[in-house]
Amino acid sequence: MLTFFFISLFLFLLLSVLFKFAISDGDFTLLSKRHVKREEIEDKVVWITGASRGIGEILAKQLASLGAKLILSARNEAELERVRKQLTGKYAPEQVKILPLDLTSGEDSLKEVVEKAESLFAGVGVDYMIHNAAYERPKTTALDVTEESLKATFNVNVFGTICLTRLLTPFMLRRGRGHFVVMSSAAGKTPAPGQAVYSASKYALNGYFHTLRSELCQKGIKVTVVCPGPIETSNGSGATTSGAKVSSEKRVSAERCAELTIIAASHGLKEVWISYQPVLAVMYLVQYMPTIGYWLMDKVGGRRVEAAEQKRNTYSLSLLFGEKKTA
């Protein structure tokens, strides 16, 4: 057992070093693309959910500058207007469309929203649907999850997102093209101690959208699943949501995450990972060496929950060895 521990640790550290020098904040395939294919974005209709703040707001800014025709959705119409006024580009801000949306409102309401989105730009429908809206509660153990939290998470992250997709896809199929960009999470690729329900919702998204692509890719439907690790986002007022309490966590900026997401979509990549170490190394281990990867996550699981409760870094390598107790 001790030998297995040291072999595993050596492999983990080796991979961490290799990935640290080989890539900075994304997987190999993603970073090999380097630049956005502007011709795939310019003049295209891009619908973004969760566009009133965070990554959604940054995506809107970058896509507007690339000449996309934007539809911005979220529940807060006033915040969407704030975002719209800040946009600059070929069609921004004047021709940016605001479309309030509540993913938990039910199929009849979502059907009306989809029909409206399809009619906002005369003669063209939605080319890209960016599923960015998400619901996440503070970290808690898998056994402490409440029924309310479970339903709230899945209603937004899974049921509403899938329903919106089912309603929009027939329009895309009639045109013979359409591209779904799904903001998933590293928590949808590896165990995420302290985030069991959120992780489960992202695993569900990954399964649905990869299957959707397999079924419809021959009919012109593309899917890009984006799996970010910890991201530094703002709440719309400029303040960061990660907060000073976890300032030691190294997070990819929302601007860089949005940039890499657009690169991935414009190149038609099927799945991409965006994160710093050690999250990327763990994702590779779970993907390609699952026995070692899951063993590592089992080692840090309880400690990560404790770290979250104590407002400490939940992505530190020190979780593997345990924190030194002070007198």
Q: Confirm whether 198 is a catalytic residue.
A: yes
* C-beta contacts of 82-91 below 8 A and 24+ residues apart: 82/52, 82/236, 83/51, 83/52, 83/53, 83/57, 86/61, 87/60, 87/61, 88/64, 89/63, 89/64, 89/65, 90/42, 90/43, 90/64, 91/64, 91/67
SS3 (DSSP) at 182: strand
CB 129 within 8 A of CB 181: yes
Non-local (6+) Cβ contacts of 261 within 8 A are 55, 59, 181, 183, 224, 226, 272, 274
Q: How far is CA 157 from the centre of its chain?
A: 11
Cis? peptide before 93, omega within 30° of 0: yes
The residues facing 274 across adjacent strands are 26, 228
SS3 (DSSP) at 43: coil
| Rounded Cα gap, residues 221 and 181, in angstroms | 11
| Rounded Cα gap, residues 268 and 72, in angstroms | 22
| Rounded Cα gap, residues 111 and 82, in angstroms | 26
- Of the residues 91, 128, 135, 198, only one is catalytic, namely 198
Residue 140 has phi, psi (to 5 degrees) of -150, 165
SS3 (DSSP) at 52: coil
| Rounded Cα gap, residues 114 and 163, in angstroms | 10
Catalogue the active-site residues: 198
